[in-house]
Amino acid sequence: MREELVRRFEDFGTRTALYDHGTAVTYAQLLKRIRDIRERLALHGVRPRETVVVHGDYSLDSVATLFALHLGRNVVVPVVTLTGTTLDTLVEHCRPGHLVRTTANGVEIQDLAEQAAATGRDLAEPGAATGPDTAEGPAAVHGRIGDPQAAGLVLLSSGSTGAPKVILHNLDVLVDQKLEKRPRRRENALNILMVLMFDHIGGINSLLSTLLVGGTAVLPRQRTPDEICALIERHRILVLPTSPTYLNLMMVGGYHRTYDLSSLRLITYGTEPMSDELLRRVHRTFPGVRLLQTFGTSETGIATTTSESSSSTYFKISGAGVEHRVVDGELQLRSRTQFLGYLNYDDDSLTEDRWFRTGDLVEEAADGYLRIKGRAKEIINVGGEKLLPLELESVLMGSPLVEDCVVYGSPNAITGQSVCVDVKPRGPLTRAELRRHVTEFLSGRVEPFKMPTKINVVDTIEMSDRMKKLRSRPSADGE
């Protein structure tokens, strides 16, 4: 299928493939850059099946490097934020041979094997990694793919509850799935804004879904609501992939009034559950736009979904490549694009028959539609009574004085946990006034054990770089 990818890019020719921070890049130019980078990689000693870290966010060079490494049958590790700890983790469990940095000044290629030798660490030393991979050298990870002609993709989990998991995929499977779709005609090609991260399964999915059918990917410099809405207006964006938290930021900031967003035809939202009240707000704000809930995981890829309607949080997993089942309230998936394993953890998230336990708790309707209730690990247990944060957040978002909120559990010596909430108020309210309002608003609407024991007033609701609300707290003191 590599030949088909190159042929499509050649056929798309003068179509615009990317807007790289405002500069139009045709498919012909993208293909030339891919070939140039392949030559540079070869000159720097990058060999087929070697693992290569690509450090950088969306740009012509990062996208071209991704495809160059795919064509070279390498294992690609995209990383937007590369800390010393992250690099140590990758060296330990992936044994990359080279690091490619894509910057405003171009592409820099660093030989990690030479660096390791200089620091006394041998990447080819047997047993250097502590994970399941015990083969030797920078091509060690490739052996886990099981196909010497395939390319690989390594993704890191967000690591919100500990060290990130190092997740291995067969990149050929992800690419081939997109190549099965027919190219769009030039006049019907979609332009899609790359809001989701370059090193996230949602971002990779958006990029492949756009370029392999002849669409245009618009690459932002920053992911602020101001810049994203300005790009929607400037490029007449049709499709916006994003998250519920990010949509709320756009609405709260009034950016939908500042910019002309009338070009939007579809907003897809995922990465975290959408509350019913927030969806109602989004639907009112964008009445002519179809809203589609997406679902996927770093381990299983992004599933094809169908929302019950733009005003419903119920959806179906409708793609032929993904099976699903619900066991004890938890959604389990088995997909064609399923990961090959963790490189630093045991595969205990897989059942004996290879179903992936997503950790998402769902409600299943009689007609087969599903509704995400929240993550199992986020359950707040108050003296044996259990609460999912999304339930309380959805109620609170119905208050005219609550702009946004996040609910989380806090350790409690008596009940095990207590309910805490951070609230961003709407309008000029004192802390005492808002706290009183929250208590009065929830009274009679929720059971007593769900009433927050701590109500913190905040200026902003913290969001991860993957556009999810941050629920974990280093301490539970509050105010």
Residue 23 lies in a domain: yes
In a domain, 366, yes or no: no
Sheet holding 416-425, edge to edge: 402-412, 416-425, 454-457
Q: What is the DSSP letter of 353?
A: T
Query: Among positive and negative, which fits the CA dihedral 174, 180, 186, 188?
Result: negative
For residue 283, the 8-state DSSP code is H
Query: What confidence score (pLDDT) does residue 159 get?
Result: 54
The three-state secondary structure class of 475 is: coil
pLDDT of residue 363: 92
261 inside domain = no
pLDDT of 124 reads: 45
Residue that has been written with the tokens 């089942």 in this structure? 325
The Cα 196–Cα 214 span in angstroms is 19
Tell me the CATH number at 383: 3.30.300.30
Does any domain span residue 81?
yes
Which residue range is the domain that position 135 belongs to?
A: 2-175
Domain at 169, CATH number: 3.40.50.980
Give ∠ CA 55-56-62 in degrees, rounded to 5.
100
Tell me which residue has tokens 């007593």.
Answer: 448
- Among 175, 208, 235, identify where a domain stops: 175
Contact predicate 129/92, CB 8 Å: yes
CB atoms within 10 A of CB 350: 18
DSSP string across 438-453 = HHHHHBTTB-GGGS-S
Q: Which of 175, 204, 228 is the last residue of a domain?
A: 175
Which residue's entry shows tokens 């019907």? 188
- Measured on CA atoms in the order 199, 201, 203, 206, is the torsion positive or negative? positive
pLDDT string in tens for the chain (479-residue length): 789 999 999 999 999 999 998 899 999 999 999 999 999 999 999 999 999 999 999 999 999 999 999 999 999 999 999 988 889 989 999 999 999 999 888 899 999 877 665 555 555 443 333 344 344 577 789 999 999 999 999 999 875 556 789 999 999 999 999 999 999 998 888 899 999 999 999 999 999 999 999 999 999 988 899 999 999 999 999 999 999 999 999 998 999 999 999 999 999 998 888 989 999 999 999 999 999 999 999 999 999 999 999 999 999 998 788 999 999 999 999 999 999 999 998 888 999 999 999 999 999 998 889 999 999 999 999 999 999 999 999 999 999 999 999 999 999 889 999 999 999 998 888 889 999 999 999 999 999 999 999 999 999 888 887 778 887 765 444 44
Provide the CA 419 distance to its chain's centre, in angstroms.
28
Cα–Cα dist 475/162, whole Å: 15
Given a contact cutoff of 8 angstroms between Cβ atoms, the answer to whether 59 and 219 are in contact is yes
CB-based burial, 216-243: b 16+ in 10 Å, e otherwise: bbbbbeebebeebbebbeebebbbbbbb
Q: Is residue 401 part of a domain?
A: yes
Residue 338 in domain = no
The count of structural domains within the chain is: 2
Residue 123 in any domain: the answer is yes
Predicted structure pTM score: 0.89
Residue 167 belongs to a domain: yes
Residue 345 tokens read as: 């953890």
**Positive or negative, the Cα torsion across 345, 350, 351, 353?**
negative
Q: Identify the bridge partners of residue 407 per DSSP, sorted by sequence position.
A: 421
Burial profile 108-143: b = 16 or more Cβ within 10 angstroms, e = fewer: ebeebbeebeeeeeebeeeebbebebeebbbbbbbe
